[in-house]
Structure 1
Amino acid sequence: MLELSDGARITAAIVLLAVVGIESGGFFLLKVLAGRAPATDFQKAFFRAGHAHAGVLVTLGLVCLVLAEATVLTGFWHWLGATGVLVAAILLPGGFFFSAMGAGRTRPNGFRVLFPAGAAFLGAGVVTLAVGMFLS
């Protein structure tokens, strides 16, 4: 059985609790899609995308956290391989939600800068982890 470090175990526990936040976002999304919360078509699309990215990236991030424990990566590289996807799980959905905020919004606002930052962490995290898996 794979032993998790204390850091990985605590990080996983925090992320699992954060799933409740994703769940509450799902309830809000249902209100929007049912017409009980006003939103433009643009906002509906971005809220849907943000919710989907949050769920998928948190799931992938937990897998990466566990896989990183089986590598020879250390220091910064271990941190990036273990948590890069989890950082992206904050930045990318945040980009969708925050850039769509505001009554009647039909285009993304300045929070769209979170998209390239999230994409960078996603790519760097999975590539670093893959290299670490090859080296182990």
Structure 2
Amino acid sequence: MSPESRRVAGIVLIVLPTVVIGGVSVLSLLIGDPGYRDNPLRQDLWRAGHAHAGVLLLLSLVALRYVDETRLSERARWFVRLAFPTAAVLLPVAFFLSVLMPQDREPSAVIHLAYAGAVVLVSGMLTLAVGLLRGTTSPSARGGSPSPEALAPPAPRDPHPRASSPTPPMG
């Protein structure tokens, strides 16, 4: 994994516990807030927001394992690295904030962020797919150079290894 992808993965892993905290928050609302229980639209959208956040952050980690193996420009790789986590923010924000108040019976205009998140997600996914189908890159094309050991031919193997020391030179 490249240092760039590793950095993004680290950030995603730091953000992932917020999904757990969000799940506990939704559960506490379900148990203790009658206003939440009385609004099926809010329940559905908040459930969808929580599910999309978790799944898309995990999908971000999967995509990061593949992006460095693509034949894409560095700019396209950065787009892929950031597209999945960006979608993991935009979609849940659209679901949560579009029915923020317990009395909301219709989603607000914030729900349109879900379309933006979907476009970003699909664009990143298709870019990654095209890069994978085009083939893999060499280590030097990924920004690193192959090690001398990787370039050297394999050393010949002695079919009869000796346990004794080599014979001294004559002379």
Q: Same fold by TM (over 0.5)?
A: yes
How many equivalent residue pairs?
Answer: 133
CA 1:37 to 1:63, structure 2 compared with 1: closer, same or farther past 3 Å?
farther
Q: TM-score, normalised by structure 2?
A: 0.73
User: What does residue 97 of structure 1 align with?
Assistant: 96
Structure with higher RCO (Cα < 8 A, 6+ apart): 1
Identity of aligned residues (%): 36
Structure 2 letter corresponding to 1:7 = E
Describe the superposition over 1:43-98 as per-residue Cα deviations: whole angstroms up to 9, x where unpaired: 11111000000011111111011110111212331122222121110100111011
CA 1:82 to 1:37, structure 2 compared with 1: closer, same or farther past 3 Å?
farther
Structure 1 letter corresponding to 2:84 = V
Structure 2 letter corresponding to 1:31 = S
Q: Which has the larger radius of gyration?
A: 2
Tell me which protein shows more helix as a share of its residues.
1
2:125 corresponds to 1:126: yes
SS of match in other structure, 2:35? coil
Which residues of structure 1 form unaligned runs of 5+? none
User: What does residue 2 of structure 2 align with?
Assistant: 5
Q: TM-score, normalised by structure 1?
A: 0.91
SS of match in other structure, 1:100? coil
* Cα pair 2:8 2:81 within 8 Å, conserved: no
Describe the superposition over 1:107-133 as per-residue Cα deviations: whole angstroms up to 9, x where unpaired: 111211211100101110110000000
User: What does residue 108 of structure 1 align with?
Assistant: 107
Q: How big is the alpha-carbon RMSD for the aligned residues of Structure 1 and Structure 2?
A: 1.3
User: What does residue 22 of structure 1 align with?
Assistant: 19
2:35 corresponds to 1:38: yes
